[in-house]
Structure 1
């Protein structure tokens, strides 16, 4: 009985060892890493891929997934650092890894570093470089430069190129509001500058208030002369609000442009993520 029990114990110990070894085999670890990446467990995935890269340092797919895990877990700096360590010659990065490294640089908003990398990259096609440079110019709010880059695209039917062209068309200076014009309009007719920037409510309030103060000041001066303090009080309040209205109109135009540009940049980001 004791001998049989001993045999059972030895058998189960051996079986457990075999199962454990199989569980932590390279192929199973690779599948586990893929599962973690797909299920959004990016930080754990990065640790798993670090181990896999250590086991197979020549496997570029493992390196790519490691960098992706770092980017998706919002550890951009670490992702960039590991790219430099794993690929001493960044100009020779494989296409997919070059795109992943580009995303890391864009997340860091290292526009200059990104442009230098694309310039030296040997495995990024010309059209991809055009699209990536256009992306940076859009996020720098330099739509003129973005148009210049996009004009060099060879495949005019490219999904991202077509959507960027639409965004740049709507970001044209003619679609923006002029802060100088808004200020001049409110100087002539209080509130009209804000109405020009589609801030109708504030524009109407400004017009009524400035007009009301001016009327009260005029009425008091007309009835009681220029020595009447109420006329000066109403006039002073009206003048202060009038000057504030001019400044507010300029600021309103700038805010209008900023909101419009931010909306276009958000749209560009959406298309970029769908494409890449």
Structure 2
């Protein structure tokens, strides 16, 4: 009598187990509404947002009419698009809740999400206008606080420090995020800044000193040296040949251009100094915001 080899037995038992598992899986109807939703939700939780959005949409299409949880599905689709950077599509779905589900528990959350999408698109003014049109109607303190926080963040991004501070101080109470945001806004308001007029005046009196005032010593000494050299050559030319000196006129005109450029450059240096300080501080705020915004 011939016996089956061990390898043949192992293959036989493996195929038997696979058949049993497949037979059990035949009982699952993957096209049922609840199974489509579970699959979409699983993709959402795993961070596969675009596929999740497609499955949530397939879930809605599986019904002949809108299911009772349509607003929450729209909300999840909107968040999927927001997390994947498709902000216009996200706004489209959040807006459906705003327009068609006025009694939804997600109504004011959708307002917040739309304002947040505009913010993430760097449309800070548009975000503020949108939030202003709804915040007064909100009667839930936690939602109103989030809307006002987002308004304040928009003000901060537009460097409207006074507006941000006023709004945050009126809402901070004991909320840690609002308190920290208010502190960052105060720091932004008190950043060291250089006066453009003063920088220009300094370089008018002594070339290059406006740039020294703006913490640009190399540029300042370069302007001083260049203007001094052209000034000396101009003086030397006119001193030797009088007003008919070609050398005097050439160096005088070029030197005058450098002198005016030194004044203008000092004004620009003050602007650059202020912008760099503000952008560095805004970068710090952006990191803090990205960690805390939902």
Under a length normalisation based on structure 1, what TM-score does the superposition of the two structures give?
Answer: 0.81
Tell me how far apart the structure 2 counterparts of residues 77 and 90 of structure 1 sit (CA, whole Å).
21
Residue from 77, 84, 91 that aligns with 1:73: 84
Runs of 5+ consecutive residues of structure 1 not aligned to the other structure: 1-10
Distance 1:39 1:250, change over 3 A: farther
1:116 correspondence with 2:128: no
Tell me how far apart the structure 2 counterparts of residues 184 and 19 of structure 1 sit (CA, whole Å).
85
State the match for 1:161 in structure 2.
178
The structural deviation recorded for 1:39 is 4.4
Q: Secondary structure at the match of 2:79?
A: helix
Deviation above 6 Å: which 4+ runs of structure 1? Answer: none
Q: CA offsets per residue over residues 122-157 of structure 1, 9 Å max, x none?
A: 4453433332221111112111111111220242x4
Bigger CA radius of gyration: 2
State the match for 1:3 in structure 2.
none
State the match for 1:258 in structure 2.
275
Cα-Cα RMSD: 2.9
Q: Secondary structure at the match of 2:211?
A: helix
The structural deviation recorded for 1:220 is 2.3
1:36 correspondence with 2:43: yes
* Structural mapping, 1:166-205, within 5 Å: 166-172=183-189, 175-205=192-222
Q: CA offsets per residue over residues 182-223 of structure 1, 9 Å max, x none?
A: 111111121222222222322221111112111221222223
Contact kept, 8 Å, 2:191 with 2:278, in 1: the verdict is no
The count of residues paired between Structure 1 and Structure 2 equals 263
Contact kept, 8 Å, 1:177 with 1:257, in 2: the verdict is yes
The structural deviation recorded for 1:91 is 8.9
Task: Identify which of structures 1 and 2 has the higher relative contact order when contacts are C-alpha pairs closer than 8 Å and 6+ apart.
Answer: 1
Tell me how far apart the structure 2 counterparts of residues 239 and 165 of structure 1 sit (CA, whole Å).
48
State the match for 2:56 in structure 1.
49
Distance 1:223 1:133, change over 3 A: same
1:275 correspondence with 2:282: no
Tell me how far apart the structure 2 counterparts of residues 247 and 107 of structure 1 sit (CA, whole Å).
36
State the match for 1:18 in structure 2.
26
Tell me how far apart the structure 1 counterparts of residues 168 and 195 of structure 2 sit (CA, whole Å).
26
Tell me how far apart the structure 1 counterparts of residues 104 and 135 of structure 2 sit (CA, whole Å).
11
Distance 1:57 1:37, change over 3 A: same
Contact kept, 8 Å, 2:36 with 2:55, in 1: the verdict is yes
Under a length normalisation based on structure 2, what TM-score does the superposition of the two structures give?
Answer: 0.77
